[in-house]
């Protein structure tokens, strides 16, 4: 279970230990993983570059959401929308059964800024996080040409979760992904460097900041076969003509020989993200409450407008 919290960053960046304790002290202790992200954590170019009043986004992961919400309701009753009167079981049901499986709230007043706040020694969780990083790299490889720069790669990776997201049409700065990547190349390199160096299909020229990937049908088939099952199935759904009922491996083998392989992968990602983003955003109206949702949307639209003005000036 993940709980997404939008918190206003009120103070300058503090030392990690102090910031961790201050942030976590506001919430129940039973967290498997807690991390912060967004413009309040990593510097961004464009309209989000002013970190003084930047939104600070948190994700909390817990093993028992009902128990966690029960404790958090007692500790932070005012954080919740009207759903709080229906109790922790109903809140967890809304969280798990709609959208992206996240209970989202926004505009919670809290101090400090952090990146990874806490992570328990959970082998399964660590393995899943590592697999997620590798899957992101593989998907990006399939959408890139044979030779590309580190920046090209990191832009593709950062853009994965925005592919098909309706908020990129209304509500987000159109240069958001580029603004995330440009000031943070070193952070991306630190996160993905070992994966790139260990991948036998990649020639990673670190000094030049360039990469070359095996784009042969055999190379692409290997990459396609390591994609997450959900994405493989979505690709199969896109490519499988009515009545054929081909298995996924047969479809991926055909796609590996297709010059439009990368575009099909992109379509598959969009088909996964689009409905999830719509459901999650709709759910946010109920979990955050109408007043805060309208305020948050106004902030997003203002940021999008500023980005458009910068682009046209």
Between 67 and 299, name the one with better pLDDT: 67
273-297 average pLDDT score? 66
Using CA atoms, how far apart are residues 168 and 170, in angstroms rounded to an integer?
A: 6
Q: Is the pLDDT of residue 14 over 50?
A: no
pLDDT of residue 119: 56
pLDDT in tens, 147-186: 999 999 999 998 888 876 655 555 455 577 888 888 889 9
Task: Calculate the average pLDDT of the chain.
Answer: 78
């Amino acid at each position: 279970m993940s709980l997404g919290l939008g918190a206003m960053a009120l103070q300058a960046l503090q030392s990690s230990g102090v910031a961790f304790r201050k942030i976590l002290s506001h919430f129940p202790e039973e967290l498997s993983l807690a991390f912060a992200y967004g413009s309040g954590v990593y510097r961004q170019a464009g309209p989000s570059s002013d970190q003084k009043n930047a939104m600070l986004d948190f994700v909390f992961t817990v093993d028992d959401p009902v128990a966690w919400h029960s404790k958090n309701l007692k500790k932070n009753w005012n954080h919740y929308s009207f759903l709080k009167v229906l109790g922790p079981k109903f809140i967890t049901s809304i969280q798990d059964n709609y959208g992206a499986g996240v209970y989202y709230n926004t505009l919670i007043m809290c101090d400090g800024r952090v990146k990874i706040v806490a992570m328990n020694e959970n082998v399964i969780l660590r393995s899943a996080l590592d697999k997620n990083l590798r899957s992101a790299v593989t998907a990006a490889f399939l959408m890139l040409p044979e030779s590309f720069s580190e920046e090209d790669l990191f832009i593709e990776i950062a853009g994965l979760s925005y592919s098909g997201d309706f908020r990129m049409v209304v509500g987000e700065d159109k240069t958001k992904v580029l603004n995330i990547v440009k000031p943070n190349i070193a952070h991306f390199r630190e996160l993905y460097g070992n994966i790139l160096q260990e991948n036998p299909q990649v020639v990673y020229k670190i000094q030049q900041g360039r990469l070359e990937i095996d784009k042969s049908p055999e190379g692409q088939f290997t990459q396609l076969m390591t994609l997450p099952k959900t994405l493989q199935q979505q690709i199969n759904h896109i490519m499988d003509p009515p009545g054929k009922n081909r298995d996924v491996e047969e479809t991926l083998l055909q796609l590996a020989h297709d010059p439009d392989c990368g575009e099909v992968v992109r379509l598959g990602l969009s088909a996964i993200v689009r409905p999830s983003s719509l459901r999650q955003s709709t759910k946010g109206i109920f979990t955050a409450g109408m007043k805060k949702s309208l305020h948050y949307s106004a902030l997003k639209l203002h940021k999008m407008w500023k980005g458009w003005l910068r682009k046209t000036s």
